Structure 1
Amino acid sequence: MANSPTGDSVLARLDRVLSTFSAADSLLSAAEIARRTGLPPATAHRLCRDMAELGWLESLPAGYMVGTRLWEMTNRSAPTMKLAVRARPYLSDVHTVMGQHVQLGVIEGHEVLFVDRLSAREAPRIHGGVAGRLPLHVSATGLVLLAHASPEFRTFYRTFYRTHHQEAAPSQIISEDRLEQVRQQGYCAQTGVIEREVTGVAVPIRQRGRSVVAALGVVTDDDDVARRPAPWVQMLQIAARGIQREISGRT
């Protein structure tokens, strides 16, 4: 399928176009897309026009946005979206009681991908959002997923961070002792890894009571949570068990 001067396939070029969009840059001109992707302007214009005709992009006077066709296809078939839909009532229950950020995350590559999040006006400002990503070790949600990943993946993650980042992930956070502690106690609580004085608490979600497929977490600046996480953990675990019944009882 390599039919471009650079050897890129059509699919690779489409992926490059879609990857230019983000929450901060949801509307881009074809010229800006060409600049960000490195595609020739004529090629970028043609791809954007064709993608808009298919509904993958939406054409507006000021440029292009990601179209509803992709949203429709993703919600209809992607396993992560099905998980988010089934988990949403339980996130809502936790959110109503806690009044803080409540989020659902899965491992995607070497990061945690947040497939859903509910926030409150009083909650602290934090990094990321729905469809946002973070290194696994910097959030409690991600650290729960890392702790329950295979030994081979945990080794890969440490090696990856040493290779691709100037500063390796703090050894005390991703040490086997720390990850074993998370597995044994059934939750992760950590403060100040990204935002100072902000605490994350998270618990695992299992498929049919066995393998961990997601993590449910809350993020707050309530000082009492760092000192006494047990009530928050209990509520998250009740919600996690409800989600587990949803995803294990239906296919």
Structure 2
Amino acid sequence: MANSPTGESLLDRLDRILDAFSAAESLLTAAEIARRTGLPSATAHRLCTAMADRGWLESLPGGYMVGTRLWEMTNRSASTMKLAIRARPYLSDVHAVVGHHVQLGVIDADEVLFIDRLSGRGAPEIHGGVAGRLPLHLSATGMVLLAHAPDDFRDSYRDRCSGALPGQGAPVAEERLEVIRRRGFCAQTGAIESGVTGVAVPIRKRGEGVVAALGVVTDDPDAASRPGPWAQTLLVAARGIQRETRVDRSSH
């Protein structure tokens, strides 16, 4: 694997290029990619051209986008994508009932990674989208994942969160996480958008504990004052998803 003069491997440089894209900025010129990655312009242009030739990027008149080849490979092999595909009918069922955002998330480092979302026409505008991320404590979906994470991870996350966001330690206090585990769901209002409530429940897989979380995000004040019925709707769907993952596990 050829290294750059700085000793950085080719894979590291390719990873930096892919990491330059975001949901909000999905089209970038080679110059923008060079600036964001710190790569020399000639190197960025050469690597982008090679990646486009292989379908990793798509070359368009205005620049480059992440290519369909990566989407194809991800859908073929990633366990998170398999989970999203199996969970989609249950997200659709919940969406038919609540009409607002319904989302599926998994834990990735200190963040919740949203692997699927359905949104209603009248749903409030919220941060993130499919393949979007948020710090765990800023969404009900993330809080469910954090509550069921190993003890040492919860302790270290609390330290990192309190250090990065002074005065923000309360949302991840162990007492609150214990309440989430005991109740079987998380509900929180105004964590990012004022008047917007998230309600989420865990999704378990036999032998692996909690592997994902299913949530609703809504500006309906009923969710803030009476989250229980919303959680019950999610729990019914979560049990369906759990049955699907058991079928998937036993068939391999």
TM-score of Structure 1 vs Structure 2, range by shorter chain? over 0.9
Residue correspondence of structure 1 range 54-65 to structure 2 within 5 A: 54-65=54-65
Aligned residues: 249
CA distance in 1, matches of 2:157, 2:196: 24
Residue in 2 that maps onto 1:157:
157
Residue in 1 that maps onto 2:213:
215
Residue correspondence of structure 1 range 120-199 to structure 2 within 5 A: 120-163=120-163, 165=164, 167-168=165-166, 170-199=168-197
1:112 CA drift (Å): 0.4
CA distance in 2, matches of 1:168, 1:141: 22
Give 3-state SS (helix, strand or coil) of 2:82's partner.
helix
* Cα shift readout 1:209-230 (whole Å, capped 9, x = no counterpart): 7600000000000011111112
Residue correspondence of structure 1 range 67-106 to structure 2 within 5 A: 67-106=67-106
Percent identity, aligned pairs only, is 71
CA distance in 2, matches of 1:38, 1:91: 40
CA distance in 2, matches of 1:119, 1:10: 39
TM-score, length-scaled by structure 1: 0.96
Task: Give unpaired runs (5+ residues) of structure 2.
Answer: none
User: Structure 1 residues 15 and 169, CA, compared in 2 at 3 Å: closer, same or farther?
Assistant: farther
TM-score, length-scaled by structure 2: 0.96
Give 3-state SS (helix, strand or coil) of 1:156's partner.
helix
- Residues 209, 244 of structure 1: 8 Å contact kept: no
CA distance in 2, matches of 1:31, 1:150: 43
User: Structure 1 residues 9 and 250, CA, compared in 2 at 3 Å: closer, same or farther?
Assistant: same
* Cα shift readout 1:57-91 (whole Å, capped 9, x = no counterpart): 01112211110000000011011111100000000
- Residues 100, 122 of structure 1: 8 Å contact kept: yes
Task: Give unpaired runs (5+ residues) of structure 1.
Answer: none
The amino acid across from 1:69 in the alignment is R
1:26 CA drift (Å): 1.1
1:170 CA drift (Å): 2.4
CA distance in 1, matches of 2:150, 2:213: 15
Give 3-state SS (helix, strand or coil) of 2:107's partner.
strand
CA distance in 1, matches of 2:216, 2:55: 35
